[in-house]
Amino acid sequence: MWSILKGEWRKLRRCQILLVGIVALALCPVVQYGTQLIINPEMRDQNFDFVKLFANVIWGNTQIFLPISLVMIGGWLIDRENTNDTMKNLLTVPVSYPKLLGGKLIVTIFLSILFGIYSVAITVLTGTLAGLDGFSADVLLRQGAQVVAAAFNTSLVCMPMILIFGQMRGAYLGGSLLTFFLGYCILFFKSGFLLSAYPFSAALILAGFDMQEYNGATQAPSVLLAVAGIAAVLVLTMAILLLSRPSKKAGNNKKKKVKKGRGRRRVG
């Protein structure tokens, strides 16, 4: 497994698709702060500070930017093996196909943590350049930990979509758009079962995000339901992994036998 992880990480580092996540997460704090500048002064939050910028970044990352980036990158990691016709070579290694896919998921999860750390740095830079108040070591540690935790939880939520659309040739772009829609839907769940159990909402709740203050939730979310929501996603991911099989084209790596013809007889 360690060899698989190292190999996948080397592939990812050389590819430009990483720019999708880098640019998207750099835009998030800029967009969140820019929104405060363009809305009507009556609606503008006059007490917008570092804490609120971090909260808006956590919300934006989980709702839009991370779902698009992670499904696109994770799906591409799987899709490229079929597109480049390299899956048949990988299958000659004595590693099961589910284990191979699992390695790609682990790399994507690790990437989400790096994206979370990167997002913290960009948020601090944006807030500093904007001259926001309220920055301190305590805010950095507390809010920064929430950003990274939410990124990790979001990667878990995205795993079924990565597996499904990554194994459908060329479908990972459509999968990222569908995941964006699913992430955006957390805006509509402000009470009841889905407030806590909906996977993207659960990702925020388990990161310690205040849904009542920033989502306008009309009741306190349930941590137990949030855990159940994430657990259901993990069970679904395991089921998809175990049921996944390589395509017939990729699995057909047997060399064709070439018949040897008889040579011409030498005419004496």
Confidence at 249, pLDDT banded by 50, 70, 90 = low
Query: Residue 42 has what pLDDT?
Result: 72
The CA distance from 167 to 236, in Å, is: 16
- 161 CB neighbour count, 10 Å cutoff: 23
Length of the chain: 268
Who has greater pLDDT, 152 or 38?
152
Beta strands in the chain (DSSP E): none
Question: Is residue 267 scored above 60 in pLDDT?
Answer: no
Average pLDDT over residues 72-97: 72
Report the percentage of the chain scoring pLDDT > 70. Answer: 82
pLDDT at site 73? 92
Instruction: Write down the pLDDT at residue 128.
Output: 95
What's the pLDDT score for residue 1? 65
Categorize the per-residue pLDDT at 89 as very low, low, confident or very high, splitting at 50, 70 and 90.
Answer: low
Closest residue by Cα to residue 135 from 165, 126, 58, 240:
126
DSSP string spanning 194-226?
HHHHSHHHHHHHTTT--HHHHS--SSPPPHHHH
Confidence of residue 254 (pLDDT cuts 50, 70, 90): very low
Mean pLDDT of all residues in the chain? 85
pLDDT for the residue numbered 27:
93
Between the alpha carbon of residue 218 and those of residues 87, 190, 201, 221, 223, the distances in Å are 49, 6, 14, 9, 16
What number of other Cβ atoms are within 10 A of residue 15's Cβ? 12
Q: Quick check: 65 pLDDT over 90?
A: yes
**Inter-CA distances, 82 with 75, 85, 171, 246, Å:** 11, 5, 12, 9
Supply the pLDDT for residue 257. Answer: 39
For 154, what's the count of Cα atoms within 13 Å in the CB-facing half-sphere? 35
192-215 burial, b if ≥16 CB within 10 A, otherwise e?
A: eebbbbbbbbbbbbbbebebeeeb
From CA 215, how far away is CA 186, in angstroms rounded?
9
**Helical packing angle, 18-38 and 50-60, nearest 10°:** 130
Q: Is the confidence at residue 260, as pLDDT, over 80?
A: no
Q: pLDDT tens for residues 182-223?
A: 999 998 998 889 999 999 999 999 999 999 888 888 888 999
- The alpha carbon of residue 265 and the mean position of all alpha carbons in its chain are separated, in whole angstroms, by 66
- Which amino acid would we find at residue 154? T
Query: Dihedral angle at the C-alpha atoms of 95, 96, 100, 105, nearest 10 degrees?
Result: -140
Q: What is the mean pLDDT of residues 133-141?
A: 94
Looking at residue 92, what is its pLDDT?
A: 60
Supply 173's token pair.
């772009």
Do residues 135 and 216 lie in contact, with contact meaning Cβ atoms separated by under 8 Å? no
DSSP single-letter state for residue 64: I
Q: How confident is the model at residue 245 (pLDDT cuts 50, 70, 90)?
A: confident
Question: What's at 81, amino acid-wise?
Answer: E
CB neighbour list of residue 157: distance below 8 Å, 6 or more residues apart: 67, 199, 200, 202, 203, 230, 233
Check residue 261 and give its pLDDT: 47
Whole-number Cα distances in Å, 251 to 68, 239, 247: 30, 21, 6
Model confidence band, residue 69 (pLDDT cutoffs 50, 70, 90): very high
pLDDT > 90: what percent of the chain?
A: 54
Distance separating alpha carbons of residues 165 and 176, to the nearest angstrom: 9
